[in-house]
Amino acid sequence: MLCIRDLEHCYTDVPVVRLQRLDVAAGEQLAILGPSGSGKSTLLHLLAGVLTPTRGDIRVCDQSLAAMRESARDRFRGRHIGLVYQSLHLIAALSVADNLALARYLAGLTPDAARIDETLERVGLAAFKGSYPAQLSQGQRQRVALARALVNEPRLILADEPTSSLDDANAERVATLLIERARAAGAALVVTTHDHRLADRFERRLVLGEAGVVA
Amino acid sequence: MNLWRLSLAYLRHQKLTAALNVFLLALGSAIIVVLLLASTQLKDNLVRDAGGIDLVVGAKGSPLQLILSSIYHIDAPTGNIDLAEARRWSRHRLVDRAIPVALGDSVQGFRIVGTSDDFRALYDAEIANGRSWHAPMEAVLGAQVAAATGLAVGDTFAGVHGFAASGHTHEHSRYRVVGVLAPTRSVIDRLALTDVRSVWAIHGAAGHDAGHETGHGHDHDHDHDHDHDHDHDHDHDHEHEHEHEHEHEHEHEHEEDHADDGHDASHHDATTTADHTLLPSILAPDFPATGRQITALLLISDSPLAGLTLPRLINRVSSLQAAAPVAEITRLLGLIGFGLDTLAAFAGLMIAAAALSVFVALYNALRARRVDLAMMRSLGASRAQLLRHILLEGQMLAIGGVTLGLLIGHLVTEGLGLWLQDAQLFHLTGWAWQPAEWGLLAMAVTVGLLAALLPAIQAYRVDIARTLAGE
């Protein structure tokens, strides 16, 4: 599902991320750990194809991200990779349901109201589909971001610190949803976190040390 | 979900800013629409009211005033001219038709025009009700006059001296309405027509002749003219007394007339129609012109030479002046046009300000929306889609604003038209479309495009990773 070979990414000649080899199979779940500044977010952006690595190759679903043209990569990411960012980035101008509808539209998928309702139901937000992000609590917003990442049935789900801004109860709930939904969909799940409440639930962990080099 | 709904959602999210921009654009374009509609319709009205008249001959003075008073009926006449001299020009070989105009009185603010029956033909005005006049003191009312005054065929009314709604009333000699014209949307709707002889009958000494004509026929005119000349020789006091006596006679005659009408109107009409009818032209060579005056003479010519030759000839040779309506309209529109241009420039400035405001709104919004745009990219949007998304938003504002402006402009013009209808000025309607309005829509598209271009290019260039991570 996800294969990384000889990956190196540099900002102004200083390597930030260096990763010899990493494979994540379909349905497998991996937590990337490390202190702030260890390059966790950069690695996630590289995996999403948002950043292009200085060296090395990342293959998702047997397709090389680096080999794609930019617009093809945008479309590929929309279809096959579900992203949950640390600061959510929900579209404030759109309702909860429309945020999900936008994800389907931008990925070039057919609008599917039933699928949106079902996805919101699974994260326990069916009653909030008409609400706007500003009207929701932080925990609810986090679940909207999760639903948006799930609505296109991605093969790979990437989540950047999905629980770090939540209280225990919400962190627990989001972590459970994330793990269960990914498993149910048979998607590979990669999360970056320094939050042990989340990290402890993953069997497979990758720890990034200083300057993103695998310790 | 699509780009339209997305752009619309962003506009709704910034309701006040969007509303302000739409309003600014609407205001600017509404002003342009009103100017466009009013100026073209004003010109159409002026041309239609000129009724194909090539030349107006009147007393010396301002040519514009002559045109305004004797064609558009919105200014005081320049003075009177001698019938004899007017007739000389009416018989010029370049003149095909000549129509006399005698002004002086009004009814409830509508002007009474002493003229000949040909006058109606200038405006293709059909008689909707009744008939044309067959005798002095018979009047045919324009559609608007009949509607506003409530006068109908068979009613009588007294003319008021001058053109104001109130003034000295000529109670001694009342007009009888014999016809009402169908509406024409031209100046004739606002006029009460009668024979020139009626005006003579009411004003000055010549009036006695006209009065007598009713009873005795035309043959006696000559004798009465002598009387009239004598009147002039008397000193003022005497003349006054003299008039007074005559007035009494006059009223008696009229009362008898009315009695006749009341008892056997159809008989009266039948005989006059059989008699046939229209009074002989006062411009005919055998009509005694001595001492008589009219206000102006309307000339129509089929010759292209007439417009050039006649005015020069008339202005040089005679004590009269000739003015060409087309030239005066052009001059008038030139004067008004200057004001219109200023207003149009002001409206253009307003639209430019609106365009700038749309630009600033989009530009500022874009700074706040960089993250949204980057997120959209990471959700699969291409750069081109984001470019279209922002351009679309600019277009929505611009087209929305101008469409609203067109709507407001047409409504305001229609409102102005209804108001002007009461003021008896000219016919103005908002339910007309000028081809130039398409230009306004095209301008909206351009303005929207220009205002959104720079922000759209910035959207195109958004760096996803740096934007999403850079917090």
Backbone angles phi, psi at B411, to 5 degrees: -65, -45
CA-wise closest residue to B161 among B102, B207, B81, B107 = B107
What pLDDT does residue B424 have? 60
List, for residues A181-211, the tens digit of each pLDDT value: 999 989 999 999 988 889 999 989 988 875 5
List, for residues A153-179, the tens digit of each pLDDT value: 999 999 999 988 889 998 999 999 999
- Evaluate the CA torsion angle B448, B452, B454, B460 in order and state its sign: negative
Count helices and strands in chain A by DSSP H and E runs: 7, 9
Find the CB nearest B376 among A50, A104, A106: A106
Choose between B270 and A119: higher pLDDT: A119
> What is the arithmetic mean of pLDDT over B104-121?
92
User: pTM surpassing 0.90?
Assistant: no
The residues, ordered by sequence, that sit 6+ positions from A33 with a Cβ below 8 Å of its Cβ are: A40, A192, A193, A194, A199, A205, A206, A207, A208
What pLDDT does residue B99 have? 94
Q: What percent of chain B has pLDDT over 70?
A: 83
Distance in angstroms (rounded) separating the CA atoms of residues B70 and A22: 99
> What is the arithmetic mean of pLDDT over B44-73?
90
> What is the arithmetic mean of pLDDT over B90-104?
91
Cβ A4 vs Cβ A57: under 8 Å: yes
Q: B26 to chain A, minimum CA–CA distance in Å?
A: 25
Distance in angstroms (rounded) separating the CA atoms of residues B221 and B211: 11
Interface of B with A in 374-413 (CB under 8 A): 374-385
Choose between B409 and B291: higher pLDDT: B409
How does DSSP classify residue B73? Answer: -
Q: Is B244 on the interface with A (CB under 8 A)?
A: no
Both tokens assigned to B403: 């469409």
> What is the arithmetic mean of pLDDT over B405-425?
86
Q: What is the 3-state secondary structure (H, E, C) of B271-305?
A: HHHHHCCCCCCCCCCCCCCCCCEECEEEEECCCCC
What pLDDT does residue B253 have? 42
Distance in angstroms (rounded) separating the CA atoms of residues B9 and A100: 14
Query: pLDDT band at B423, cuts 50/70/90?
Result: low
Query: pLDDT band at A97, cuts 50/70/90?
Result: very high
What pLDDT does residue B192 have? 95
Strands (DSSP E) found in chain A = 2-11, 14-24, 29-33, 55-60, 63-64, 81-84, 156-160, 188-193, 204-207
Choose between B276 and B81: higher pLDDT: B81
Note the ipTM here.
Answer: 0.91
**Average pLDDT over all residues of chain A:** 90
CA torsion angle for B422, B423, B425, B431 (degrees, to 10)? -40
Examine the pLDDT at B211 and tell me if it is beyond 60. Answer: no
What pLDDT does residue B258 have? 43
Interface test with A, best of B1, B12, B377, B385 (most A CBs within 10 A): B1
Compute chain B's Rg from CA coordinates. Answer: 33
**Average pLDDT over all residues of chain B:** 81
> What is the arithmetic mean of pLDDT over A143-161?
94
Q: A180 to chain B, minimum CA–CA distance in Å?
A: 22
- Cβ-defined contact of B381 to A98 (cutoff 8 Å): no
Q: A80 to chain B, minimum CA–CA distance in Å?
A: 10
Query: pLDDT band at A213, cuts 50/70/90?
Result: low
- What element of type H or E holds B64? helix B63-67
- Cβ-defined contact of B379 to A78 (cutoff 8 Å): yes
What pLDDT does residue A214 have? 53
Query: pLDDT band at B143, cuts 50/70/90?
Result: very high
Q: What is the CB neighbour count within 10 angstroms for residue B287?
A: 15
Contacting residues of B for A42, CB less than 8 Å apart: 469
Examine the pLDDT at A105 and tell me if it is beyond 50. Answer: yes
**Which chain A residue has its CA at the smallest distance from B373's CA?**
A91
With vertex at residue B18, the alpha carbon angle to CA B14 and CA B23, rounded to the nearest 5 degrees, is 150
Selection from B104-108, B176-180, B263-267 with the highest mean pLDDT:
B176-180
Choose between B408 and B233: higher pLDDT: B408
| Residue B305 burial (10 A CB sphere; 0-12, 13-18, 19+) | exposed
Query: pLDDT band at B362, cuts 50/70/90?
Result: confident
Distance in angstroms (rounded) separating the CA atoms of residues A86 and A81: 16
What pLDDT does residue B467 have? 84
> What is the arithmetic mean of pLDDT over A125-154?
94
What pLDDT does residue B125 have? 92
**Strand order of the sheet with strand A63-64?**
A14-24, A2-11, A55-60, A63-64
- Strand partners of residue B129: B180
- Concatenating the DSSP letter of every residue in A81-118 gives EEEE-TT----TTS-HHHHHHHHHHHTTPPP-HHHHHH
Compute chain A's Rg from CA coordinates. Answer: 17
Examine the pLDDT at B469 and tell me if it is beyond 80. Answer: no
| Residue A90 burial (10 A CB sphere; 0-12, 13-18, 19+) | buried
Find the CB nearest B469 among A45, A79, A106: A45
Cβ B12 vs Cβ B400: under 8 Å: no
Strands (DSSP E) found in A61-203 = 63-64, 81-84, 156-160, 188-193
Both tokens assigned to B292: 């008589």
For chain A, the residue count is 215
- Cβ-defined contact of B13 to A93 (cutoff 8 Å): yes
Query: pLDDT band at A92, cuts 50/70/90?
Result: very high
> What is the arithmetic mean of pLDDT over B359-380?
88
Cβ B100 vs Cβ B117: under 8 Å: no
Distance in angstroms (rounded) separating the CA atoms of residues B304 and B322: 16
Query: pLDDT band at B76, cuts 50/70/90?
Result: confident
- What element of type H or E holds B191? strand B191-195
Examine the pLDDT at B219 and tell me if it is beyond 70. Answer: no
Contacting residues of A for B368, CB less than 8 Å apart: none
Both tokens assigned to A177: 């949803």
**Which chain B residue has its CA at the smallest distance from A77's CA?**
B380
Distance in angstroms (rounded) separating the CA atoms of residues B5 and A32: 38
**Which chain B residue has its CA at the smallest distance from A160's CA?**
B469
Query: pLDDT band at B288, cuts 50/70/90?
Result: confident
- What element of type H or E holds B170? strand B169-181
Both tokens assigned to B327: 């030239």
Cβ B118 vs Cβ B280: under 8 Å: no
